[in-house]
Structure 1
Amino acid sequence: MDRNSWIGLALIVGVMFFWSYLTKPTPEETAERQKVQDSLIQVQKDRAQKQILLDQEMANNPSITNSGANSDSIVKSQLGDFSSFASGERKFYTVENNLMKIRFLNQGGRVYSVELKNYKKFDGTPLILFDGDSTEFGLNFFAQNRSIATNQLFFEMEKGSDNLVVSDKPETMAFILKLAEGQHIEYVYTISPDTYHVDFDINFLGMNNLISANTGNIALQWKSFISSLEKGRKWEESNTTIIYKFNEADIDKLSETSDEANENLNTPLKWISYKQQFFNVALIADGAFSNASVKLEKELTNPNYLKQFSSEISLPYNSKANESIPMSFYFGPNHYQTLKKLDVDLEEVVTLGRNIIRWINVGVVIPLFNWLGKFIGNYGVIILVLTIIIKLVLFPFTYKSYISTAKMKVLKPEVDKLSEKFPKPEDAMKKQQATMALYKKVGVSPLGGCLPMLFQMPILFAMFRFFPNSIELRQESFLWAQDLSSYDAVIHLPFTVPLGFGDHISLWCLLMTIVNVVYLKFNDQMSMSNNQIPGMKLMMYMMPVMMLFWFNSYASALSYYYFLSLLITIIQTWLIRKTVSDEEVLAKLKAAQANKKVAPKSKWQTRLEEMAKQKGYQLPKK
């Protein structure tokens, strides 16, 4: 790569950085945006606080709730027999096992929040999967010709305690809306030790006389604001979506990159998952949900949240006197083995690629990674050993690729003679055919150096999927990288560089880029020609620069792996080069040519000869 190419490359990068600096917002604009954002957040907080105070005031001051027959009659007309549950005192109940702490709220009889004990947010605070005030969960149905929503009704705790610890056996929390003796709606939660899985049953007793008989289904409304839990918000946002599994085994999802997406799912479903980069909350049917509609919206006002998810799920209801709808929750990490144990294909929420890429990750990478983890305590060292093992397995392909390139290199003088023999553009077909005849004569395939590399591509793509989505690497440090699942920012910029670069510089990504350039330079020295087209050479060296932009905000573990992989490839190639000389390769070619029997023509050569004959070219004599 000559000086002009380097200057051109530097100018391109410089212009991009300069443009980013020019277009960055001024401190006044930043302050104004923050002011608007803070005001919106404050309005939301004020509204929520006013509602809480109003609920408390109504619960504590009977003169408000019972100020007159007019107020009672309005509530009675709206809720009918459910009007007695419209007001009450908000009470919280806690159940915890060794993995999570669940808070229940009597208003709605629902799970208010879930804390995962073994994980923290990126800032070191407790990891709360969702906050109850930003979540809705309840039944919507018609009873006595009225629309009833249980999310705001006050349940009574039927079974459990204020603080329940699950140690050696499952424990139950039950909440009930008891309209009369033998007539109620009951929510039953069963929490077991050593699991993120919670059984959830909705029981109806004697409700067939109240709930419309022709309903067929009861709607379950589930809304939630998805909290930001990781350091790299953009990457986390692009891995946050609603994933769902149809009862016939097909799995689909809403677009992660859309600001708004929705889907009407008109066939039975097995589960719906509110999935984030490393965690998910899933509602799993014991049998199947009848159908559902799902929707996501990107959250633009509150920086604490990524997106808003909502689902309206149809639960099968047969209007029986005694009826139960069993289902369950999963509140936990996107850990492949943990999810697989549930045996409902929930492990599919872990982004590991598709087809052969996923097969490599599931069948090879994850078992090998976990096996190494039994003996090595540092994940940076595990990645190093994993890379060495992979490169040793792929070494035969690397060796074959080198030998093929070396053969092409030693044949270059012969190819140059053919170029001199057929200098005219109209002789291009003759030159091509003569070149192919030469390769066939000495037993060299032009694709010999490419095919071995193609076999390695699935592994490269598998690593691209594995490292950014491996929860084992989350908040694990190595050298200067504090979190291998996120970028390792060693320099923070006062502006944001476009094309995904961000407002920081990742050192592992920078080192990967440098080694990539060295690798290209090393390969360039071994290529057949030193007179490549300048534009092509510039494009070749532009690729590492583009990778710098693409990978700068990716998981540092991925950049670290590619850095190691390229470095080991350089070492392997250097060792092969030291042990295999061009003279030795040429001697083997001549020996093979002397001992070679006349082989049948390949389809490619036959086709070239036919094309040449059709154009009236005279074929060279052997």
Structure 2
Amino acid sequence: MNRDTIIGFVLIALVLIGFSWYNSPSKEDIEAARLQDSIAAVQQESAKKAAQQQAEKKQEQEEIAKTDSSALFYQALNGTSQQVVLKNGKLELTLDSKGGIIKKAKIIGYKDLNEDKDLTLFDEKDQSLNFLLTGKQDNIVTSDLYFTPSEQSDSTVTMTATAGNGGQVILKYRLGKDYMLGFSLQAKGLANAFAPSYKEMEIEWTDHCRQHEKGYSFENRYTSIFYKEAKDGDTDNLSEASDENETIEEELDWVAFRNQFFSIALISKDNFAKNANLISTLDEKGTGYLKHFDAKLKTAFDPTGAKPSEFEMYIGPNNFRLIQDVEQQSQFGKDLDLEQLVNLGWWLFRLINRWFTLYVFDWLASFGLSMGIVLILITILLKVITYPMVKKSYMSSAKMRVLKPKLEAATKQYDKPEDQMKKQQEMMSLYSKYGVSPMGGCLPMLIQMPIWIAMFWFVPNAIQLRGESFLWMDDLSTYDPIIEWTNNIWGIGDHLSLTCILFCAAQLIYTWISMRQQKDQMIGAQAEQMKMMQWMMYIMPLMFFFIFNDYSSGLNFYYFISLFFSAAIMWTLRKTTDDEKLLAILEAKYQENKNNPKKQSGLAARLEALQKQQAELERKRKIKN
């Protein structure tokens, strides 16, 4: 080896040593690498422990499954939750393979409290539907099982849970074109798992009813569990105002969880068996929920699998006409009468709303008018229809008013307390001779009350008003606050509603006009009694304020407009009535009846005859004593 070769090796060694020294890690790098190795080791150990725990858990579940109530389906106790969406243009349903049930329901085109364009009626936190099948040894609880989706489309899906023996529980869903969902439950290859006498399965259905509207108290008044009896066709509901636990002794066509504007109705083809247990529990204000609903039901089940248990579910708005149309899509051939979910009031007021208000409302709304204009036009139409009767009633009161001086002169000799019967007889005799009915002045109130009460039921249940604005009112279906505060004040709440104030003011003015009109026609003791009554009548608007401050602005607006027109009609009739001419007509009638007493008739004549009969009986009683 020569000198040049040695020098070359030395230089190469120096380069290698220098390069190694230059690229060697610093103390910081060495510490970071050591730390990284430690983290990787910990993560590896954690993953190993997690895998071991998962294996132990799975083994434990399998061991438990062999002895628990779902042992037949122990393989279906484990799985992965999968989401399946069924959707049409109006409804979107999300189904979960865990339990095979609806996890979420979204109604398209209806805004929620957060102004989202679509309203989520419920999700997995709010509602559950569970089917329980009692076997000879094992119970099948669908909420515990993982189902496998198949045959999936936008409107259909089949959910299948497979048992250890190869048997299956199958849930089939089919979404219609609107708001009706059809589904069935069928057991195949499981006949030996059930007793020969087993013919009914249990259903547990719960719902935590969300608050969807601004007014908690008002919405709660129209939120309840509704149901329809299969035998008599009667529809009833649990209390809206308090907790209630009721067992229904009749078979049921359907059970519905209903809030003010939306409902979920579960319908059974073979009816729900007797003794269904329904529970409604109130929730606190501010929780975002109204009530908690529980329904424990039973219905027919074929363990051989030859016949599925069939159901339908209406999930949608409480729109009377819409529900009528959707009901026609039912495959069960029943008169479901689901439109009863739109509460139009007790039987008399329901008839008014069903056969008059609904038709008029739909007709006016078909022109594309604002809902506020529709309410005004309905008010005007009702005033036109009732005007002839109101005018007749007013004229009866006017006749009594112009006759007041003559009545006072004719009865002034009967001012003693013991002569009050004679005084009344003399007044009735004069009313009869003049052809006047003393009860005619009460007719306006008798005419208006059924309509007022009918509208009291109709307006709060009219979903067409939901979210509709008019003038200063942002939403005709809820209150219109001019001022709000945080803490509730007893009897008032947390706001002042402008339409309620206007309604109560109009009621006060109308009461003043009515009281003045009645005061002008009464004499003697009647006038004294009227003084006491008028204070009670003036208190009514104050009472109405405490009642209606939380009600919908649409209802208060209707009452305000109705009272405004009523007061205007009364004022117009008063200004256009010629008292002298009316008195002349009455005098002519008096002369005609005086010359022909047999022509006297009407209510006054009947009251006069009744009073004479009572006076005669009183005279005989005194003689006998």
TM-score range (shorter-chain normalised) is 0.7 to 0.9
What is the 5 A alignment of 1:355-434?
Answer: 355-434=347-426
Q: Do the aligned residues in 1 keep the contact of 2:216 with 2:285 (CA within 8 Å)?
A: no
**Identity across matched positions, percent:** 32
Q: Which runs of 5+ in 1 are unaligned?
A: 1-56, 165-170, 618-622
The amino acid across from 2:140 in the alignment is I
1:143 matches 2:132: no
Q: 1:587 aligns with which of 577, 581, 584?
A: 584
Paired position in structure 2 for 1:13: none
Shift of 1:123: 2.9
Deviation sequence 1:234-274 (CA, Å, 0-9, x none): 1111211111001120111111111x211222322100000
Q: 2:67 aligns with which of 77, 80, 95?
A: 77
Paired position in structure 2 for 1:279: 262
Q: 2:185 aligns with which of 202, 216, 219?
A: 202
What is the 5 A alignment of 1:172-321?
Answer: 172-179=156-163, 183-193=167-177, 195-248=178-231, 249-258=233-242, 260-291=243-274, 292-300=276-284, 303-321=287-305
Structure 1 pair 522–282 and aligned structure 2 pair: CA distance change class (3 A): same
Shift of 1:606: 2.4
Q: Do the aligned residues in 1 keep the contact of 2:86 with 2:156 (CA within 8 Å)?
A: no
Q: Do the aligned residues in 2 keep the contact of 1:296 with 1:309 (CA within 8 Å)?
A: yes
The amino acid across from 1:288 in the alignment is N
Deviation sequence 1:507-551 (CA, Å, 0-9, x none): 111111112222222333433449655543222211111111111
Q: 1:483 aligns with which of 475, 478, 503?
A: 475
Paired position in structure 2 for 1:124: 115
The amino acid across from 2:92 in the alignment is K
Structure 1 pair 384–91 and aligned structure 2 pair: CA distance change class (3 A): same
Paired position in structure 2 for 1:323: 307
Q: Do the aligned residues in 2 keep the contact of 1:242 with 1:309 (CA within 8 Å)?
A: yes
Deviation sequence 1:29-63 (CA, Å, 0-9, x none): xxxxxxxxxxxxxxxxxxxxxxxxxxxx9xx9574
Deviation sequence 1:306-361 (CA, Å, 0-9, x none): 11111111111243242211110100000001112215101111111121210110
The amino acid across from 1:231 in the alignment is K
Shift of 1:495: 4.3
Query: When the two structures are superposed, what TM-score results if normalisation uses the length of structure 1?
Result: 0.84
Paired position in structure 2 for 1:26: none
Deviation sequence 1:414-456 (CA, Å, 0-9, x none): 2322442111111111111111111111111111111343133
Deviation sequence 1:64-112 (CA, Å, 0-9, x none): 2545755422122112121111122222111211001111100000001
Paired position in structure 1 for 2:609: 606
| Residue aligned with 1:608, SS | helix
Structure 1 pair 301–525 and aligned structure 2 pair: CA distance change class (3 A): closer
Deviation sequence 1:275-312 (CA, Å, 0-9, x none): 10010000012232223211111124971211111111
Paired position in structure 1 for 2:318: 334
The amino acid across from 1:76 in the alignment is K
Hey, what's the Cα distance between the residues in 1 that align with 2:58 and 2:518? 93
Structure 1 pair 336–69 and aligned structure 2 pair: CA distance change class (3 A): closer
Hey, what's the Cα distance between the residues in 2 that align with 1:213 and 1:318? 10
Hey, what's the Cα distance between the residues in 1 that align with 2:51 and 2:477? 52
Q: Which runs of 5+ in 2 are unaligned?
A: 1-46, 328-334, 621-625
Hey, what's the Cα distance between the residues in 1 that align with 2:187 and 2:310? 11
Structure 1 pair 399–210 and aligned structure 2 pair: CA distance change class (3 A): same
Hey, what's the Cα distance between the residues in 2 that align with 1:557 and 1:534? 34
Hey, what's the Cα distance between the residues in 1 that align with 2:412 and 2:474? 59
Structure 1 pair 73–522 and aligned structure 2 pair: CA distance change class (3 A): same
Q: 1:104 aligns with which of 81, 95, 105?
A: 95
| Residue aligned with 1:133, SS | coil
Q: Do the aligned residues in 2 keep the contact of 1:400 with 1:452 (CA within 8 Å)?
A: no
| Residue aligned with 1:296, SS | strand
Shift of 1:384: 1.0
Structure 1 pair 431–302 and aligned structure 2 pair: CA distance change class (3 A): closer
Q: Do the aligned residues in 1 keep the contact of 2:74 with 2:164 (CA within 8 Å)?
A: no
Paired position in structure 1 for 2:25: none
Deviation sequence 1:182-241 (CA, Å, 0-9, x none): 621111110122x10011111222222113332221001111111111111011112111
Shift of 1:494: 5.1
| Residue aligned with 1:118, SS | coil
| Residue aligned with 2:307, SS | strand
Deviates further, 139-148 or 580-589: 139-148
Q: Tell me the matched-pair count.
A: 548
1:446 matches 2:438: yes
Shift of 1:476: 0.5
Q: Do the aligned residues in 1 keep the contact of 2:186 with 2:305 (CA within 8 Å)?
A: no
Q: Do the aligned residues in 2 keep the contact of 1:350 with 1:469 (CA within 8 Å)?
A: yes
Shift of 1:498: 2.6
The amino acid across from 2:222 in the alignment is N
The amino acid across from 1:218 in the alignment is M
1:557 matches 2:554: yes
Structure 1 pair 316–276 and aligned structure 2 pair: CA distance change class (3 A): same
Query: When the two structures are superposed, what TM-score results if normalisation uses the length of structure 2?
Result: 0.84
| Residue aligned with 1:411, SS | helix
The amino acid across from 1:549 in the alignment is F
Paired position in structure 2 for 1:577: 574
Hey, what's the Cα distance between the residues in 2 that align with 1:600 and 1:577? 28
The amino acid across from 2:581 in the alignment is E
| C-alpha RMSD of matched pairs (Å) | 2.2
Hey, what's the Cα distance between the residues in 1 that align with 2:501 and 2:392? 30
Paired position in structure 1 for 2:44: none
Hey, what's the Cα distance between the residues in 2 that align with 1:402 and 1:498? 40
| Residue aligned with 2:599, SS | coil
The amino acid across from 2:280 in the alignment is L
